[in-house]
Amino acid sequence: MEPEHVPGLSLTQCGLEFPGQPYSAHVLKVGYSLAQPDGTVRADGTITLLTGPQNILVDTGGPWDRDFLLRSLEERGLSAGDVHVVVGTHGHSDHVGNLGLFPGALLVVGFDVCRGDTYVDSVLARGDAYSVDEHISILPTPGHSGQDVSVQVTGVSGGTLLVAGDLFENYHDELSWRELSLNPQLQQLNRQRALQTADVIIPGHGAPFRVTRGPQEAASVMGRSPCDGEEPL
């Protein structure tokens, strides 16, 4: 599909596995948001697992995903107790509905960082990144809500990966994301920053996509193209 604002570039989704060193990324569940005929919306958030020196879960889905999430971890040889860090990109129920499965993990939910009932100064509220280690940083990316974060991972196949929560709904959300945004101006700024720095983006309600930068990338929103080995839709 060709984006209206960047003639000649394709918007194409990626696969769900991103091997790397020392971290690999695995999309356990692709989120969705589907309008229903009766005016309701069926929605669930994307669930992503980062494996490496630490096991890091980014968004847990809704409470209805409990059994699916535990089974997905088990299929990778992990239990809930093997997860070291859980990140909730923001506080909506379809993204943080299973935090209770991980009482021993470091929890990062929006700008809050805690282990058990002990909270630490995360620096996120001041606009700074919170470093998990030299390969993983949690970035403040508010706009969709007041305290959104995204997780940046270096060293995976395809370059720098950003697990973006609802900073991006999906790979073709240009006409819809503003309707769901608490602060569209701020979200637009953070979207542009993400598109200037990430090579692959995992959105909150859709499949991953690659960012392809043209010669005028600094002046406008960039196009997105397939991840390595993936065919256009």
Helices marked H in the chain: 66-75, 93-96, 184-197
**Buried b vs exposed e over 5-39: b needs ≥16 C-beta within 10 Å?**
ebeebbbbbbbbebebeebbbebbbbbbbeeeeee
**pTM score of the predicted model:** 0.89
What is the structure's pLDDT at 12? 64
Residues of the chain with pLDDT under 70: 1-12, 213-233
State the Cα–Cα distance between residues 46 and 107, nearest whole angstrom: 18
Two tokens, residue 194: 């993400």
What is the structure's pLDDT at 212? 82
